[in-house]
Structure 1
Amino acid sequence: MATVPRAGLRSADLRGCDLGGADLRHAKLEGTPASDLTVWPNGFDIDVAGLVITGDPGAEPDVLLPAAAITRQIPPLLSP
C-alpha cells in the first residue's frame, strides 16, 4: 500500500492510475487530472479533493520511436 501523506500531486497525471491501495489522506490533489478509469481507495471523495476529471489518454504505444527516427539528417562535413 502506498502512503503519500501531505504529498503535493497537483502536477501529477493520475488518469487511469490504480490508487486503490493508496493512503491519500492529506494529499494535495486540487486541480490534478484524473479520469473515469482511475481507481480510488474505498471512501475517497474526488469532489472534496478537487480533482479535474478529464478523458483518458488511452494506451501507450507498444513501440516508441527509435533514436534514428528522431534525429535529423545532416550532410557530411567537407574537408578543404
Structure 2
Amino acid sequence: MRDADFTEADLRGTDLGTADLRQTRMTGAPAGEHTRWPAGFDHAAAGVVVTEDPGPEPSPLLQPPGITTRHPPSRSMP
C-alpha cells in the first residue's frame, strides 16, 4: 500500500497492522478505535480523523427478488 491515496477513505475497522504505509495520503480519512495501525505509525500526523465506529452493518430489510421468468432454451441458427 506504499504511496497509496486514502484521502477521505473510510478506514473504520480496517486492519492495516502489517501494511507499508510510507508516503500514503490519508487526509480526512475517518478511522475509529477498531482500526489497527502498523507499530510506530502516527495516524494523526497522516491527517486521519478519529471518529466513532458505526458498529455492525444492519441486515437488509428486503431481500432482492429472484429471477422467476422462464425463457425457452437458446438455439444456434443454421
TM-score, L = length of structure 2:
0.73
**Residues in 2 aligned to 1:20 and 1:32: alpha-carbon distance in whole angstroms:** 17
SS at match of 1:67: coil
Is the helix fraction higher in 1 or 2? 1
2:38 to 17, 37, 41: 41
Larger Rg: 2
User: How is 1:1-80 mapped onto 2 (pairs within 5 angstroms)?
Assistant: 4-61=1-58, 63-64=59-60, 65-68=62-65
Residue 54 of structure 1 and its aligned partner are, at CA, apart by 0.7
Could you tell me which amino acid in structure 2 is paired with residue 10 of structure 1?
T
Give the superposed CA RMSD.
Answer: 1.3
Aligned length: 64
SS at match of 1:47: coil
**Residues in 2 aligned to 1:30 and 1:11: alpha-carbon distance in whole angstroms:** 6
In the TM superposition, structure 1's runs of 4+ consecutive aligned residues that sit over 2 Å from their partners are none
Instruction: Give ranges in structure 1 of 5+ residues lacking alignment.
Output: 69-80
SS at match of 1:46: coil
SS at match of 2:45: helix
Residue 30 of structure 1 and its aligned partner are, at CA, apart by 1.0
